[in-house]
Amino acid sequence: MNNPVTRAVALLENIPHSLIAFVARFSIAAVFWKSGQTKVEGLAIDLIDGTFQLGWPHLADSTVPLFRSEYHVPLLSADVAAHLAAFAEHFFPVLILLGFATRFSALALLGMTLTIQTFVYPDAYPTHGTWAAVLLYLMARGPGVLSIDHLIARRWK
């Protein structure tokens, strides 16, 4: 039981859930936020490259035409789909990053991921599978202790 493989596995099993969840939250939030930023003008925030422009966001001129030509979503007009996507790609990543309503925000982004995979980019399953895995992890395990959800849960226990 004291062989190097067993010791290495035991060490890896001690990686805290909260660390994994924080990295997952930050990473998946960045994916969707950056995508949302390509759809809007008037608000530009990227903490990594230092972009910071506050303003009232509105759809970029290229967004609705993109939904007409490339992002075909059934049952929704291009205009409605563009607005919903831009909103979702900003709102849910902020909630996930804060760790607030994390499981439900992850569920919403998983629904968006499945829609993209099914109707928009069916060949991008390796990327979408990675997103889905991260989102499923957050749905199943929650955001960890570095979150508003954790503070709320502690308060109500």
Residue 138, number of CB atoms within 10 A of its CB: 25
Residue 83 amino acid letter: H
pLDDT number for residue 80: 97
**Looking at residue 2, what is its pLDDT?**
78
pLDDT for res 138: 98
Q: How many CB atoms lie within 10 A of CB 131?
A: 21
Tens place of pLDDT per residue across the chain (157 aa): 579 999 999 999 999 999 999 999 999 999 999 999 999 999 888 877 888 888 899 999 999 999 999 998 889 999 999 999 999 999 999 999 999 999 999 999 999 999 999 999 999 999 999 999 999 999 999 999 999 999 999 998 7
CA angle 118, 122, 127 (to 5 degrees): 105
Residue 1 pLDDT? 59
